């Protein structure tokens, strides 16, 4: 064998090693997903090495890789795209070009990225907002917010809340031709967390007279109390969002001190004083039977009180929407929840659905049986197109 073919062989083996991930049979286009995952794994491995060498925070490297995928706010034949600020928070606004006699519906959208990554300018987010505006003939506001590791909770929450409150003012709604009775809040992943949190907060806000028409939570992260739910156990190594990454993102929302991450990873972080909160994230009582199959609920091992005193955010309802009391949930608008079967966050969404239903809120659950984290925003995949259609048609009927 010549030297060239030897190197070639090594390259092929390396690529195959990186790329090949066994996937369940019902997952469509497995090779495309493996490719997607290969990029992410390479970026994530490079970021890990760079961090180990002491050059750059893991998430700052990931954030740099992701920013390569940002696009400018370009208007097209159907939608006018502009950038502005709401209460000093940068936002992108999408307004359909076609003439409208009536005031329009509106979606306030919050991007995902684990409170650490992403922006309204990412190509996938920009496309989603554009498409939502065009297909619903609606105004879409896609908000940014300051990110970890530079900023921690409650900055992300407050930025989104302040931006939303700015939008909900009469003057601003009139400027964009929005019908105040037909406004919804939507977000994916960590954006779904922020969406659920700000929509709850709005209920008790004396400044806001507007009642939201709907909320939509796409594969949201809703609790960091129990990292051993069936979905965390089943999907801890699934492509796109392994448990280790999700735990890192959750802990970075509160602090860059890695002792919280360590405690979360072994599920020993909720202190005994807060044990009463665990009922709100108890999968044994909140998950439908079919999702519990093969899993035995273990009572929690309690963590250090000091950690919880230092970083109280992880027990704060503004970061953990699942902790809201029933009395609060009762006031929430009709809700769309999309969960993905092969996603560590699946049970967060499912538990929230149960809690909302118990509180009498009208809920539509779409558990995507062949879905994985983020599938609906990958518009190059068939599953992305299909689930986008489901989401858009729900909005069309309910907003």
Contact residues: ligand NAG, CB under 6 A? 278-279, 282, 284-285, 297, 299-300
Tokens standing for residue 10: 């090594």
**What is the closest distance, in whole angstroms, from the C-beta atom of residue 99 to ligand NAG in the complex?**
55
Asked if residue 131 lies in contact with residue 152, where contact means CB atoms within 8 angstroms, the answer is no
Sequence-distant (6+) residues with CB within 8 A of 265 are: 227, 243, 244, 247
d(CA 293, CA 347) in angstroms, rounded, equals 13
Given the complex with ligand NAG, which of 279 and 380 has the nearer CB atom?
Answer: 279
Which is closer to ligand NAG, CB of 98 or CB of 276? 276
User: Coil, strand, or helix at residue 29?
Assistant: coil
- Residue 223 CB, shortest distance to ligand NAG, in Å, is 13
How many Å apart are CA 362 and CA 343, to the nearest integer?
Answer: 24
d(CA 22, CA 49): 25
Q: Nearest distance from residue 178's CB to ligand NAG, in Å?
A: 43
Nearer to ligand NAG, 161 or 280 (CB): 280
Looking at 111, 152, 269, 373, which residue is catalytic?
373
Q: How far is the CB of 226 from ligand NAG (least distance, A)?
A: 9
Q: How far is the CB of 227 from ligand NAG (least distance, A)?
A: 14
- Annotated active-site residue 126? The verdict is no
- The vertex-358 CA angle with 353 and 364, nearest 5°, equals 35
Task: Give whichever of 82 and 305 is closer to ligand NAG, judged by the CB atom.
Answer: 305
Whole-number Å distance between alpha carbons of 283 and 290 = 12
Pick the closer one to ligand NAG by CB: 19 or 284.
Answer: 284
Burial code of 380-394, b = ≥16 C-beta within 10 A, e = fewer?
ebebbebbbeebbeb
Q: What angle do CA 220, 147, 308 make, to 5 degrees?
A: 70
294's CB contacts (< 8 A; 6+ apart) are 230
Catalytic: which of 343, 347, 348, 370? 343
Q: How far apart are CA 242 and CA 343, in angstroms?
A: 8
Active-site entry in 44, 129, 189, 251: 189
CB 240 within 8 A of CB 27: no
Is 343 annotated as catalytic? yes
* Residues that are catalytic: 189, 343, 373
């Amino acid at each position: 064998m010549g030297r060239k073919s030897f190197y070639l062989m090594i390259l092929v083996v390396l690529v195959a090693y990186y790329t090949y991930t066994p996937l369940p049979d019902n997952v469509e286009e497995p090779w495309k997903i493996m490719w997607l995952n290969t990029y992410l794994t390479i970026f994530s491995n490079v970021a890990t090495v760079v961090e180990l060498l002491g050059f750059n925070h893991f998430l700052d490297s990931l954030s740099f890789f992701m920013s390569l995928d940002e696009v400018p706010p370009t208007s097209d034949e159907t939608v006018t795209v502009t950038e502005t600020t709401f209460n000093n928070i940068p936002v992108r606004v999408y307004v359909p070009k076609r003439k409208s006699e009536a005031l329009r519906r509106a979606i306030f959208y919050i991007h995902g990225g684990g409170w650490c990554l992403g922006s309204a300018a990412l190509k996938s987010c920009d496309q989603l907002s554009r498409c939502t505006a065009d297909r619903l003939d609606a105004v879409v506001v896609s908000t940014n917010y300051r990110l970890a590791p530079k900023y921690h909770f409650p900055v992300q929450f407050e930025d989104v809340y302040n931006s939303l409150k700015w939008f909900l003012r009469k003057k601003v709604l009139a400027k964009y031709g929005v019908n105040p009775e037909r406004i919804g809040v939507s977000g994916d992943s960590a954006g779904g967390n922020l969406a659920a949190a700000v929509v709850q907060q709005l209920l008790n806000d004396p400044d806001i007279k507007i009642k939201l028409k709907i909320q939509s939570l796409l594969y949201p992260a809703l609790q960091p109390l129990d990292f051993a739910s069936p979905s965390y156990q089943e999907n801890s190594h699934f492509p796109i969002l392994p448990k280790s990454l999700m735990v890192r993102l959750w802990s970075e929302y509160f602090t860059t001190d890695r002792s919280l991450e360590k405690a979360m990873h072994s599920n020993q972080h909720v202190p005994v004083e807060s044990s009463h909160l665990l009922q709100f994230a108890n999968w044994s009582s909140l998950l439908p039977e079919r999702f519990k199959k093969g899993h035995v609920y273990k009572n929690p091992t309690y963590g250090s009180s000091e950690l919880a005193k230092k970083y109280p955010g992880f027990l704060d309802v503004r970061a953990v929407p699942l902790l809201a009391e029933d009395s609060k949930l009762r006031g929430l608008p009709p809700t769309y929840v999309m969960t993905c079967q092969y996603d560590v966050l699946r049970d967060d969404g499912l538990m929230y659905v149960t809690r909302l239903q118990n509180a009498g809120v009208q809920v539509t659950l779409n558990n995507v049986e062949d879905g994985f984290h983020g599938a609906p925003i990958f518009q190059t995949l068939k599953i992305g197109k299909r689930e986008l259609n489901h989401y858009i048609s729900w909005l069309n009927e309910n907003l």
